[in-house]
Structure 1
Amino acid sequence: MEPKTSPDLMPSWIPANGHALRHAGIHFDAVRIIGLLGEQVAYEVMQFTDFRAGPIIRSSIGGRSMYFLLPPGSARAYRWPVGAEALVREGAAFVGVPALEGLTYPLDWRSRPTAQVPFVDTKLLFELLNGVVEAEKCDVP
């Protein structure tokens, strides 16, 4: 039997059940990537980090977005390519955050935060996203 993670080690912005809206830029910045591009980037980040990517939230409605949660204040340091939107403190950007367990539809964790990896590495996300975008450009006839 695996030992359970202590709730004290999890970030305070994760709700105990269901899901909750959190203002971007307070506890984290976020980068939203919609559709297949988001799925591909999430896969690349997870592969590169040996499945210790940090928090990635998947939304199963609409454009099926991925939200990559970054350290607060870090997203604005980069010029994100088309298809990615930085959600930062300026403005009214909110991110739905699911609980770690239970019913959280339409949100779920593609990759969970851990005490060791509380956020996705901003520079790594930027580099892998740009690599995927460039590779897609090369595939267009």
Structure 2
Amino acid sequence: MEPRNSLDPVPSWIPASGHALREVGVTFDAVRAIGMLGEEIAYEVMQFTDFRAGPIVRSGIGERSMYFLLKPGIAAALHWPPGVEVVSGGERGAAFVGVPALDGLTWPLDWRSRPTAESPFVDAVLLQEMAWLRTGCAVEE
């Protein structure tokens, strides 16, 4: 993992300690993949980017989801394979994703890949391609 000074300054949506809920669609979009599929997609994206993938949050409870944080306004415009979903509020109201601090106790959340000045968000097209690849399907347009 990159040291805390990898971001200068640290984005305001990252809490100073612990973790906090952030509204999806405001500062970032989020795409979720559950379980081993999420781990595999995260690894592929990280490997492809020389382990500078941008913000990927891992949840350590329940279904152990992986949340890929994308530039706002892009996730819903792309088509995702089964098992990968856009986190959005829609008609039911707002949706939130937990974001851990960069340091300290953040359980049950942690960074699988941290945001950096060079990679403030996960590359959405690369994520889409890796998601389709890991589900064993060709990319659908």
- Written as runs of structure 1 = structure 2, the 5 A alignment for 1:68-107 is 68-88=68-88, 90=90, 91-107=93-109
Q: Tell me the residue number matched to 2:33.
A: 33
Query: 1:112 and 2:114 equivalent?
Result: yes
Q: Tell me the residue number matched to 1:10.
A: 10
The answer (yes or no) to whether the contact 2:7–2:117 under 8 Å persists in 1 is no
* TM-score, L = length of structure 2: 0.89
**SS of 1:44's equivalent?**
helix
Q: d(CA) in 2 for partners of 1:107 and 1:81?
A: 25
| 1:7 Cα offset (Å) | 6.0
Gaps of 5+ in 2: none
Q: d(CA) in 2 for partners of 1:101 and 1:88?
A: 27
Q: CA RMSD in A?
A: 1.8
The answer (yes or no) to whether the contact 1:23–1:89 under 8 Å persists in 2 is no
Q: d(CA) in 2 for partners of 1:128 and 1:14?
A: 26
How far does the alpha carbon of each residue in 1:26-83 deviate from its partner, in whole angstroms, 9 at most, with x for none?
A: 0000001000000000000000000000000000000000000000001011121111
| 1:88 Cα offset (Å) | 3.3
Amino acid of the structure 2 residue aligned with 1:108: D
Query: 1:58 and 2:58 equivalent?
Result: yes
Gaps of 5+ in 1: 136-141
Amino acid of the structure 2 residue aligned with 1:95: V
| 1:11 Cα offset (Å) | 1.3
Q: Tell me the residue number matched to 1:133.
A: 135
Q: d(CA) in 2 for partners of 1:100 and 1:38?
A: 21
